[in-house]
């Protein structure tokens, strides 16, 4: 199954936020191994410079993580593209849960692919900013201010779950909310060593796990902040 990227009206940008600069980022991602053209087209379409502070807009299309406040970051574009590509390997999932909304950029990429997106963020200020950006860009994303470690049971099961912060081990609540055959992609590990993990839930209730790549993410914390 393939999925078509839904093109949204976006701010075109000028200079270092122009379409040409976005195209260079896409070319770079293709060079370092991202193969799914729908994912690459979503990266080309979603205006990453609108998901960072205006002072950092000139760096928005570098392949690097950037600070977004509250000791959080917007993930490196390669990481966003790779995690998204993994979710699409067996065809597009219908319903996706994201743990850790952050800036809203990963949710926007998923929504631009036409997926039904649910996202949970523990930091209220970040969520309010993300909601505003997503709304202005026309992306239909359902969001919740809550402890992401609990997932979002009300709308479970999910065909895919993507986690954008690292825990020492995968959280049981997230696995429980994954549909049979569903796929979870998450960074696992501590501050000194983390790996991107892909987990697939089997019909017998067990899981198959695969290590994809070394990564660096902020920690997955419990509780909520306003």
Rounded to an integer, what distance in angstroms lies between the CA atom of residue 184 and that of residue 162?
A: 6
Instruction: Name the nearest CA neighbour of 96 among 42, 177, 36, 169.
Output: 177
Q: Is 75 a catalytic residue?
A: yes
Instruction: Give the orientation angle of helix 19-31 with respect to helix 77-87, to 10 degrees.
Output: 60
> In this structure, are residues 162 and 141 in contact, taking their beta carbons and an 8 Å threshold?
no
146: three-class secondary structure by DSSP: coil
Is the pLDDT confidence value at 59 over 70? yes
What is the DSSP pairing of strand 66-69 with strand 158-163?
Answer: unpaired
Catalytic residue among 75, 103, 193, 195: 75
Q: What does the pLDDT read at residue 9?
A: 39
Q: Which pLDDT band holds residue 81 (cuts at 50, 70, 90)?
A: very high
Paired tokens of 154: 């009300």
User: What is the CATH code for 65-214?
Assistant: 3.40.50.150
Beta-bridge mates of residue 117: 96, 141
Domain ranges of the chain: 65-214
- Mean pLDDT within 107-120: 98
Is the pLDDT confidence value at 13 over 60? no
Q: What does the pLDDT read at residue 47?
A: 95
Q: Which pLDDT band holds residue 4 (cuts at 50, 70, 90)?
A: very low
């Amino acid at each position: 199954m393939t999925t078509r990227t839904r093109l949204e009206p976006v701010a075109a940008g000028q200079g270092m936020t122009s379409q040409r600069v976005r195209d260079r980022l896409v070319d770079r991602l293709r060079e370092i191994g991202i193969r799914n053209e729908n994912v690459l087209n979503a990266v080309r379409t979603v205006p990453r410079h609108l998901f960072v502070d205006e002072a950092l807009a000139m760096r928005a299309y570098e392949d690097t993580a950037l600070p977004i406040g509250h000791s959080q970051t917007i993930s490196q574009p390669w990481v966003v593209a790779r995690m998204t590509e993994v979710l699409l390997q067996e065809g597009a999932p219908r319903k996706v849960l994201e743990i850790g909304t952050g800036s809203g950029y990963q949710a926007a990429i998923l929504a631009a692919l036409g997926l039904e997106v649910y996202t949970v963020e523990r930091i209220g200020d970040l969520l309010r900013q993300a909601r505003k950006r997503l709304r202005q860009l026309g992306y239909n994303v359902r969001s919740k201010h809550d402890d992401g470690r609990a997932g979002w049971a009300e709308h479970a099961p999910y065909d895919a779950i993507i986690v954008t912060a690292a825990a020492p081990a995968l959280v049981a609540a997230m696995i429980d909310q994954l549909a049979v055959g569903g796929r979870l992609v998450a960074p696992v590990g501590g501050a000194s060593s983390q790996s991107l993990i892909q987990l697939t839930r089997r019909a017998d209730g067990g899981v198959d796990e695969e290590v994809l790549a070394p990564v660096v993410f902020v920690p997955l914390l419990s509780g909520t902040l306003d």
